């Protein structure tokens, strides 16, 4: 059994998502487990170099996790022929430019979503990647969540019968910053800095809907800025210019060709009273299921209770107790790490890989359609995307 090195340029990993999910829980975890196993039993060991603007911060991060290489000069890093993969988790506005630079330097590219702030740039970078012949991928982590993997297993087993609808509830209260410290960065709430609920989350919902429930065909959406003033990391007030909530309905064509209706409520100004921070409630003719991040509960046609509507008496049924837990039948690893392992095998031994930049562009397409719907107050079609 042989072990080969894979040099990875990691840009933008001092932020919350890049550091926690991509560096610590993915690349560092892969290194600690001895690398990624290939189909022939050989191993691939990621050898990252961390690139960022703040030398002190990037050096401390590298030292804390046993990474020898770090720097502040991205152009110099891209010149190194021994590092063949470029990863970006920095700002969305800069992403298309950075990806294009990396592709022209001959690097395989992998990046966070959204891959761009507008569809034209997303399609342009996806086409550049396609023409280059290099490997490319966009993060679609929610497909690897234990709850959604269990939900997908039910779908593939025919549990739902004919799928009718999906109801997605996402969000929690993000503290304004005056009484309690903020738990999300302030740029999330400034449109000029690439913030906004629709831009952030519609990219996720596109790949979840397409892969698990049906291809998106049209959307109706309204956004809102419920909290007009927030406080930043330094405790200074600022005007929130981005949407902090959105409410959407989408028409899907299910995998069996039948229509499916998807409702999506997403908000950073809501207090949670449900199973998880995100839940997916699926109804079908033969059964229903509700999945969160890790758990999934199901109710079949033959075990569906018969509730009685009677506003004059207190409801005695505990509806939560009437659902059956879908068991853990395997060990579920971190979803970001799983996709990293897929991408590494795709690069090294050409393992089939479908979570590409064109798939990332579809997410931006749904963002633009949702924003157009909000602006024009109407349904907007989502045609097939040619990349």
CATH code of 143-334+365-376, in short, is 3.30.360.10
Residue 158 backbone dihedrals phi, psi, to 5 degrees: 80, 15
Q: How confident is the model at residue 132 (pLDDT cuts 50, 70, 90)?
A: very high
Which pLDDT band, with edges at 50, 70 and 90, does 185 fall under? very high
Which range (91-95, 286-290, 337-341) has the least confidence?
A: 91-95
- Mean of pLDDT values over 126-145: 97
Distance between alpha carbon 326 and the CA centroid of its chain, in Å? 23
Nearest Cα to 382, choosing from 293, 372, 176?
Answer: 372
Confidence grade of residue 1 (pLDDT, cut at 50, 70, 90): confident
**pLDDT above 90 (res 95):** yes
User: How many Å apart are CA 279 and CA 264, to the nearest integer?
Assistant: 10
Q: What is the mean pLDDT of residues 229-253?
A: 98
Q: Which two tokens stand for residue 354?
A: 């479908």
Q: What mean pLDDT is predicted for residues 4-14?
A: 97
Which superfamily, per CATH, for 3-141+335-353? NAD(P)-binding Rossmann-like Domain (3.40.50.720)
Is the pLDDT score of 3 beyond 90? yes
Strands (DSSP E) along the chain, which ranges?
3-11, 36-37, 43-51, 69-71, 83-88, 108-111, 136-138, 163-171, 215-224, 229-231, 237-239, 245-253, 259-267, 278-284, 287-291, 296-300, 324-325, 380-381
163 touches 284 (CB < 8 A): yes
Kindly state the average pLDDT of the residues 343-365: 97
Alpha-carbon distance values, 378 to 259, 370, 375 (Å):
20, 10, 8
Q: Is residue 176 over pLDDT 90?
A: yes
Question: Coil, strand or helix: which one is 75?
Answer: helix
Task: Give dist(CA 137, CA 38) in Å, integer.
Answer: 19
Give the CA dihedral 128, 204, 95, 25, nearest 10 degrees. Answer: -110
Per-residue pLDDT tens digits for 28-71: 999 999 999 999 999 999 999 999 999 999 999 999 999 999 99
> Do 3-141+335-353 and 143-334+365-376 show the same overall fold?
no
Predicted local distance difference test score (pLDDT) of residue 53 = 92
Tell me the domain boundaries of the chain: 3-141+335-353, 143-334+365-376
pLDDT of residue 16: 87
The pLDDT of 208-237, averaged and rounded, is 97
The mean pLDDT value of the chain amounts to 96
């Amino acid at each position: 059994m042989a072990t080969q090195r894979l040099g990875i340029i990691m840009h933008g990993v001092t932020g919350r998502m890049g550091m926690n999910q991509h560096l610590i829980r993915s690349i560092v975890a892969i290194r600690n487990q001895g690398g990624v196993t290939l189909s022939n039993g050989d191993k691939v060991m990621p050898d990252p170099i961390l690139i960022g603007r703040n030398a002190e911060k990037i050096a401390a991060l590298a030292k804390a996790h046993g990474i020898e290489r770090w720097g502040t000069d991205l152009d110099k890093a891209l010149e190194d022929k021994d590092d063949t993969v470029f990863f970006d988790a920095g700002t969305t506005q800069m992403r298309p430019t950075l990806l294009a630079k990396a592709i022209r330097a001959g690097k395989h590219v992998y990046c966070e979503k959204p891959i761009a702030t507008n569809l034209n740039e997303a399609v342009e970078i996806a086409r550049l990647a396609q023409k280059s012949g290099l490997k490319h991928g966009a993060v679609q982590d929610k497909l690897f969540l234990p709850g959604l993997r269990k939900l997908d297993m039910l779908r593939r087993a025919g549990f739902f019968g004919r799928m009718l609808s999906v109801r997605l509830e996402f969000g929690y209260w993000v503290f304004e910053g005056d009484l309690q410290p903020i738990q999300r960065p302030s740029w999330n709430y400034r449109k000029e800095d690439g913030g906004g609920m629709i831009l952030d989350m519609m990219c996720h919902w596109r790949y979840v809907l397409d892969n698990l429930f049906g291809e998106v065909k049209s959307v109706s959406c309204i956004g809102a800025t419920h909290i007009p003033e927030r406080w930043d990391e330094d405790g200074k007030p600022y005007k929130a210019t981005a949407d902090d909530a959105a409410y959407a309905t989408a028409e899907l064509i299910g995998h069996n060709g039948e229509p499916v209706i998807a409702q999506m409520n997403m908000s950073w100004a809501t207090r949670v009273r449900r199973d998880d921070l995100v839940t997916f409630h699926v109804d079908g003719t033969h059964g229903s299921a509700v999945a969160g991040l890790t758990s999934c509960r199901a109710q079949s046609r033959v075990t569906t209770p018969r509730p009685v509507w009677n506003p004059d008496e207190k409801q005695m049924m505990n509806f939560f107790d009437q659902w059956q837990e879908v068991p853990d039948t395997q060990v579920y690893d971190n979803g970001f790490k799983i996709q990293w392992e897929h991408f590494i095998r795709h690069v090294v031994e050409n393992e089939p890989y479908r979570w590409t930049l064109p798939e990332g562009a579809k997410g931006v397409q749904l963002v633009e359609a949702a924003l157009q719907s909000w602006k024009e107050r109407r349904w907007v079609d989502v045609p097939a995307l040619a990349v």
